[in-house]
Structure 1
Amino acid sequence: MASDPRSLLQVTWAVRWPLRLTHAGLIAERVTRAFWPFWSMVFVSLAGLMLGLQDLMPLEWLWVVSAAFVLAALWFLMRGARRFRWPRQAEALRRLDASLKGNPIQAALDDQAIGAADTGSTAIWAAHQDRMRAKLAEAQAVEPDLRLSRADPFALRYVALLALSVAILFGSILRVQSVSVMGPGGPGLAQGPSWEGWVEPPGYTGLPAVYLNDITAESMQAPHGARVTLRMYGEVGALRIEESVSGRPLSSDEAAEATAQDFDIVQSGRLAIDGPGGRAWQIAMIPDGTPTVMRDGEIDVAYSGEMQMPFTATDDYGVVAGVARIVLALDEVDRRYGLRIDPEPRAVLEVPLPMPVAGSRAEFTETLIEDFSLHPWANLPVRLELEVQDEAGQTGLSEPEVLTLPGRRFFDPIAAALIEQRQALLWNRANAGDIALILRAVSNRPGDLFRSEVHYLRLRVILRRLEMQARYDMSDEQRDELAQDMWDLAMILEEGDLQDALERLQRAQDRLAEAMKNGASDQEIAELMQELREATDDYLRQLSRQQQQDREADPDSQFSDNQNMMEMSQDDLQRMMDRIQELMEQGRMEEAQEALDQLREMMENMQVTQGPGGRGQTPGEQAMEGLAETLREQQGLSDEAFRDLQDQFNPGQEGQQGQQQGQQQGQGQQGQGQQPQGQGQQGQGQGQQQGQGQPGQGQQQGGQQPGAGDGESLEESLADRQRALRNELNRQRRNLPGAGSEAGERAEESLGRAEGAMEGAEEALRDGDLAEAIDRQSEAMEALREGLRELGEALAQQQQGQGEQGLAEGADPGNQRDPLGRNQGTNGQIGTDENLLQGEDVYRRARELLDEIRRRSGEGERPEAELDYLERLLERF
């Protein structure tokens, strides 16, 4: 610094405000670093006093804790005073100067060391100082560094601040004065008796606690079950408690001698504290209403027997659980045939009611989805009663109603007879002998009733077991096993097997072909097409079920070996049949017949695959795998070009290494050369050529100069392979799935950039510019990676909008499952037709998930995008 006081005064005056703020920041830094333990102790002490912790501790412990806090605070205060140094103006000036480019403050205050006698040098020095003084106008105050992470690695200062914030929100400054009762001679007795009181509503109400000392009104409201806590300080007997809200008897002596009272509000009444500073309130109890539940709307029963029963439940604070209770309405049952004798006793059927996981439970409507087809009471009169429960343990019941328990209906005569006798067996096992006689009579002439001898043989086995076990005491296990066998046979007879479905499909196709020849009317065409659609759906379902059974029986077997088979979804089949109907209605019978023949041939040679989760590959999977293979091959070409570039500069040292790497790469690409079927013969040939030719090339790189063998340089060979790889990428781009979506367009653009970079790499290789080729190959690989990511996003969006998958694209729609392993249902849409988790587990799991979300949202080191997502989840739920 210069010794000229005027220069120093001019400079400091030019930066006076930034300098003052910087100086204040230095003071704040040093105060914070020196005294943060002291004010943390003060904050913790004040928070404990405001929360009333001193009232919960024995007097001896209160003295010990208070003395420890006071000594710790004094020690931290003295430690801070020793460490604190008041910052000088020169320190602030140096900090401000360091924040400016070129240190203009220092330059403005410096003196010319040499050349003072030279006029030119003096002029240059003056111009330099003028420029430095001009920069002083850009000076801004330096922000103080108040970080204490090194001094406080466990963030104890924030714990203290949090405790004080909680005390300000939920405590009271008036509670601090209760510390005066620390001794018999303390000021508490001199000030006279005092009291404190709280009213805490039950947690499930969501209402805040009330501090009675702050309530000046003479009346107040409190919910049923609210907890009243009263604490008296000072001379015993100076304050008396009178209350009529708890419904408990309290003698006058107990009211006078008690220093603490805790009771619940169960009725409206009066609460009073008699004595110095006492108050009285008239408390009106808010009753906790009983929950209500009722069936809302008609019961919907699907063809499979699944029941959907909507219901509505209400409660003032929320319903926590519910159950549907079903008992047999014996007085309403038609007591004939197998139901003539008394039924065996069975437990009441109880099914948990679904509860909303998110949102309010004060009033909601849900749907109970259940399938009772296998229950012995299916299609019999039952008495239904719904029950819900709130947090207080109160229950609400719906009006009992008699209805027929929904179950599957059977229309095949033999299947219906089997189900009827199955119900009789489950009604009472004493019916076993009569059931055997009835089934023998029904199946007297099997040739007229059964489509297959296998079905009749299965019935004969059931008959023999019934007749044998009817002579002895039938156990529960034997009865249930027989009932299950009868159900399985009835399902086969009702729905048929794969051969039945194929015969029905062929019959529908033959009838449609005959109608084409005879010139059927539009109405007849519509009826026949509807029959064909139903037969096709049935055949697809049976075919998928049969293939699933075959896979389970032989997991090692291979399905869908013909990778060149035509892939169609069920929507494609639907459009094909619509086209046939349109051609027939237009009178173009020859074209319609050709389309029908194509459909017939395709259905006969069809095989249903598992879709994304099975052994088959979707077009999207094939495209992703093909692009990944192209990326790997591009990486291999880039590695070879890099090794060739190394060989040009260091052939002696890199020869052996290049030979070893060439052999390893040749072996690796030989395994990668087998590309999936369906990606084109060009890609397959290319992969095989690379896999088989690389070992030789690797040796050539390591031991010989390029072009030393067959007259063709290594750069030319790499350029040819680069061109073949670019052609393969061009072919893949033409067959890219996900077209039309935004992500698909981005994938197309990325692959276009990759193709252009490959072309540039090919030209650089032919020119012998390996460095440029490696750069362009890197661009191609980066573009390929972006294309893979965007193609995956496009396929994910496409799968969300697709319906059920049929031929070569997915299994039976009724058997498809979502990522959670649940059936998606028969409509092909995203969702499930199974019951979700019910009972207490779903609420426990929901609480665990919310706790985990809150924990993760409090971790500040997580990415900002993840924290924003977690905050949105907390706001939603």
Structure 2
Amino acid sequence: MSQFKISPTKATLNKLRWPLRLTRLGMVAERVTRAFWPVWTVCLAVLAALMLGLHDRLSSEVFWGIAVVSGLAMIWFVWSGIRQFYWPSAIEASARLDATLPGQPLAALADHQAIGANDEASRAVWKAHLSRMREATRAAHAVQPDLRVSRNDPFGLRYMAVLAFIVAVSFGSIWRIASVTELAVGGQALATGPSWEGWVEPPTYTGKPSLYLNDIAEGPLLLPKGSLITVHLYGEVGSLAVSETVSGRNEVQSDNTELAEVFTVETGGTLSVEGSGGRSWQVSVIADKPPSIEFDGDMDVAASGEMRQPFAVTDDYGVVGGQAEITLDLGAVDRRYGLAIDPDPREAIVLDLPMTISGDRGEFSETLVENLSLHPWSGLPVRIVLRAEDALGQNGKSEPLEIALPGRRFFDPLARSVIEGRRDLLWATENAPRVAQVLRAVTHRPEDFVRSTSAYLMLRVAIRRLEAGVDAGLSDESKEEIATALWDIAVLLEDGNLSDALERMHRAQDRLSQAMREGASDAEIAGLMQELREATQDYLRQLAQNPREGGDQQQADSRNMQQLTEQDLQDMMDRIQELMEQGRMEEAQELLDQLAEMMENMQVTEGAPNGEPGGEGEQAMQGLEETLRGQQGLSDDAFRDLQEQFNPGAQAGQSDENEGRNGGEGRGQSHEGQGGQGSGDGELQGDGQSGGQERSLAERQRELRESLRQQQNGLPGAGTPEGDAARGALDQAGRAMDGAEEALRNNDLAEALDNQAEAMEALREGMRQLGEALAQQNSENQGQQGQVSGEGQARDPLGRNAGARGNPGTNEGMLQGADVYRRARELLNELRDRAADQTRPKPEIEYLKRLLDRF
């Protein structure tokens, strides 16, 4: 029996049989896809259109036109595909597979040795080569086909067809394709007899499903108003007809000469398909009721003037939007003073109501939140009407709410006068002369009640602009700008830039007391109570840092002093708020007065070496504080002179905005300080000459520089890193003062202000470093800085232990708290607001921009 031996090359090729077959099939798929992709694209598009029933909405002419075009396109694409397609051969499949292998081993195995066949060594090399090639074929795998045809279909038409087909499968019906056969007269319908199809499509906003009339038996049919009914008739002409009385027209009857009958349900009535296999329904209409909207509770008003009004909305299918319309109740307005004349025409306030984002809009509750403090009707009687609209365009409205339009409350008398003037100006332009006259009257003696120099100057500028507008004819734009300025002035007068914590606390107490007397809302009282808590904490922190501010009683016996813990203070404020919430305003006011009295009587006494008040370090800090206050006052005076310098028509130190640079011309701010210190508090001074010999700004700057030089001699803390840093900062402050003096002598006020700002910053840094040095020194020598009420350890007004550096309960610097950053943000915002005011002189704006660039 003979035996046949298969060569290694053939055995290798047998192992590659399936990779070669699969690669060849992949090549077939590639060529089919590239040749026939337009064919299946057209097929999917046509199927999608038929499944969605688009042919039912077309006339027979349009339908058959599209059908012919689609058929011709299909024939063309099939013929083109056949021409492009050719079957891949086994050699092409082998070449593709071989191209994916290193060294193309399949081609190498098919080669024959051409040279050296008789040489033993050459044959050995050839066998080794074939062995390596057979080894390389073990990594052979079928090549994946490349089915991409993006080069042939740059617009992605195939993807559009697939997407349309997916939509048709999801929302269409494959049974609609069968209706195509009924479109041709003499088709299957003629053979099987007349037939019909009908659908009811309720309005989309109702959320109700479509109905197939063929599946609904005769009888009552309940449909939403606006439902769309479509009925298709097939078969011999005249064999079927549609009659209906639901579309609002007279009874209509149509035969099947029309491919489709489409109408909308407007009223109840009958719907019939008459003829063989026809049906009849008695249609009742579900009326779409208008939405209902109403106020859902009382309005809450915050201290800032923000109002929060809850409301509730109901509708049978859901609303699409809503508005709140606010109109002036002119009959309820107290027509006196600036409101006596007829108001200028002003449109009603229209606010969009918030709609629920998630959930059912058929029934929900929301809250309208808005702050209308800036509106001219703020504080005046108004009517608020809420409106809601549904998808059908129907509107529902609430009963009117008659209230005084909420707005921010002002407690400062001058701020109230400014706001009243602003209201009168916006009420009617005819009030402008009266407003200017009233504002001049209330600022006649500013030293009695005006706290802020800046607010006073801004108010004088606003008065001048208003009077100029009256003379030249006040335009609407100028009126709005002046009204905006008056609002900013009132806010500045109300809030102020109060640097003294005790005054802030008194202001908060006064505001809370006035709100209780005037019957403010709970939300507003809660906001004012929180303001009092914050102001009280600020005062306690300042009192702990500056113990001597407690008053002359700091030498009293500690046994006669009252100890108040932080918990006691918190409990007392909680009790005040509880009494206010219960409506017991008299008891709350009495307790508030007791709290104010106790806070004023608080002080922290501070010991010194050998029992003498005021050690060397304390005296140095006092001197630096006085120098800083003097520099601040001098900088304020220089800034006011810069304003007056560019005020047209103003004399030296005198202008309409700020009269009396030397105090002898009128009722303005005395620019020059006394004793070389200046007016650092920023308050308005009285009439008359400033005490002592009048000195120029440059001379006052030189005196401050000399005072600082004397304080630098013998400064404590020498040899420590903090002490050396303090000396370096004070040296920098001295150089900045020298530059400021030179600039003042050259009448370069802008440059002087820059140098003065640098000097004040360096002084603050020097004081901080000196405080660190003193605290470190006292910690090493004594372990504590002072005593509270004669006890063995320093305590703040709440009884808390002072840290090693004299701060309550901590060794961290008091300048590292959040209030410092808040204050810094406020100052930056103020600088930005002033720099954006184009009515200010150009040099002032440039100076403000330089400050912003620096800080």
Q: What's the TM-score bracket when you normalise by the shorter of the two chains? A: 0.5 to 0.7
Q: Is the 8 A contact 1:308 1:368 kept in 2?
A: yes
Q: What are the within-5 Å matches in structure 2 for residues 42-53 of structure 1? A: 42-53=43-54
Letter in 2 for 1:16: R
CA shift for structure 1 position 406: 1.0
Letter in 1 for 2:352: L
Over 3 Å counting, the alpha-carbon distance change for 1:226 and 1:501 in structure 2 is farther
Aligned to 2:325: 325
Over 3 Å counting, the alpha-carbon distance change for 1:803 and 1:354 in structure 2 is farther
Aligned to 1:353: 352
Aligned to 2:303: 303
CA shift for structure 1 position 20: 2.6
Unaligned 5+ residue runs, structure 1? Answer: 533-538, 604-801, 818-877
Over 3 Å counting, the alpha-carbon distance change for 1:67 and 1:153 in structure 2 is same
Q: Partners in 2 of 1:384 and 1:249 — Cα distance?
A: 45
Over 3 Å counting, the alpha-carbon distance change for 1:567 and 1:348 in structure 2 is farther
Q: Partners in 1 of 2:167 and 2:304 — Cα distance?
A: 58
Q: Is the 8 A contact 2:432 2:466 kept in 1?
A: no
Structure 1 vs Structure 2: percent identity of aligned residues? 40
Aligned to 1:22: 23
Residue deviations 1:46-66, cap 9 Å, x none? 444444444444544544443
* 1:250 to 2:251 alignment: yes
Residue deviations 1:777-807, cap 9 Å, x none? xxxxxxxxxxxxxxxxxxxxxxxxx999445
Aligned to 1:402: 402
Aligned to 1:231: 232
Q: What are the within-5 Å matches in structure 2 for residues 472-871 of structure 1? A: 490-491=490-491, 493-496=493-496, 513-515=548-550, 518-519=553-554, 521=562, 523=564, 527=599, 565=761, 584=796, 585-586=799-800, 588=802, 592=806, 805-806=821-822, 811=827
Over 3 Å counting, the alpha-carbon distance change for 1:529 and 1:37 in structure 2 is farther
Over 3 Å counting, the alpha-carbon distance change for 1:381 and 1:56 in structure 2 is closer
Q: What are the within-5 Å matches in structure 2 for residues 379-390 of structure 1? A: 379-390=379-390
Residue deviations 1:4-42, cap 9 Å, x none? 997776445323332332222122122222222333333
Q: Partners in 2 of 1:399 and 1:158 — Cα distance?
A: 55
Over 3 Å counting, the alpha-carbon distance change for 1:409 and 1:506 in structure 2 is closer
Aligned to 2:35: 34
Over 3 Å counting, the alpha-carbon distance change for 1:204 and 1:154 in structure 2 is same
Q: Which moved more, 1:455-464 or 1:255-264?
A: 455-464
Over 3 Å counting, the alpha-carbon distance change for 1:484 and 1:89 in structure 2 is closer
Letter in 1 for 2:154: P
Aligned to 2:80: 79
Q: Partners in 2 of 1:366 and 1:80 — Cα distance?
A: 63
Q: Partners in 1 of 2:198 and 2:231 — Cα distance?
A: 4
Aligned to 1:687: none
Q: Is the 8 A contact 1:804 1:810 kept in 2?
A: no
Letter in 1 for 2:302: A
Report the secondary structure of 1:307's partner residue.
Answer: strand
Residue deviations 1:842-874, cap 9 Å, x none? xxxxxxxxxxxxxxxxxxxxxxxxxxxxxxxxx
Q: Is the 8 A contact 1:315 1:361 kept in 2?
A: no
Residue deviations 1:501-540, cap 9 Å, x none? 79958997699633177457554997469999xxxxxx9x
Over 3 Å counting, the alpha-carbon distance change for 1:436 and 1:278 in structure 2 is same
Q: Is the 8 A contact 2:548 2:603 kept in 1?
A: no
CA shift for structure 1 position 370: 3.0
Over 3 Å counting, the alpha-carbon distance change for 1:211 and 1:34 in structure 2 is farther
Q: Which moved more, 1:442-451 or 1:241-250?
A: 442-451
Q: Partners in 1 of 2:117 and 2:481 — Cα distance?
A: 116
Over 3 Å counting, the alpha-carbon distance change for 1:165 and 1:399 in structure 2 is same
Q: Is the 8 A contact 2:233 2:256 kept in 1?
A: no
Q: Partners in 2 of 1:431 and 1:127 — Cα distance?
A: 112
Q: Is the 8 A contact 1:450 1:456 kept in 2?
A: no
Q: Partners in 2 of 1:812 and 1:132 — Cα distance?
A: 79
Q: Is the 8 A contact 1:416 1:490 kept in 2?
A: yes
Q: Is the 8 A contact 1:222 1:286 kept in 2?
A: yes
Over 3 Å counting, the alpha-carbon distance change for 1:213 and 1:128 in structure 2 is farther
Q: Is the 8 A contact 2:795 2:808 kept in 1?
A: no
Letter in 2 for 1:73: M
Q: Which moved more, 1:361-370 or 1:37-46?
A: 361-370
Report the secondary structure of 2:393's partner residue.
Answer: coil
Q: Is the 8 A contact 2:49 2:168 kept in 1?
A: yes
Report the secondary structure of 1:407's partner residue.
Answer: coil
Q: Partners in 1 of 2:98 and 2:75 — Cα distance?
A: 38
CA shift for structure 1 position 348: 6.2
Over 3 Å counting, the alpha-carbon distance change for 1:91 and 1:292 in structure 2 is same
Q: Is the 8 A contact 2:244 2:270 kept in 1?
A: yes
Q: Partners in 2 of 1:359 and 1:114 — Cα distance?
A: 84
Q: Is the 8 A contact 2:353 2:368 kept in 1?
A: yes
Structure (1/2) with the larger helix percentage: 1
Q: Is the 8 A contact 1:323 1:350 kept in 2?
A: no
Aligned to 1:378: 378
CA shift for structure 1 position 321: 2.5
Letter in 2 for 1:513: R
Letter in 2 for 1:36: W
Residue deviations 1:595-626, cap 9 Å, x none? 99x999x99xxxxxxxxxxxxxxxxxxxxxxx
Q: What are the within-5 Å matches in structure 2 for residues 62-77 of structure 1? A: 62-77=63-78
Q: Is the 8 A contact 2:371 2:407 kept in 1?
A: yes
Letter in 2 for 1:370: E
Letter in 1 for 2:407: G
- Output the TM-score relative to the length of structure 2: 0.54
Aligned to 1:413: 413
Aligned to 1:153: 154
Over 3 Å counting, the alpha-carbon distance change for 1:337 and 1:244 in structure 2 is same
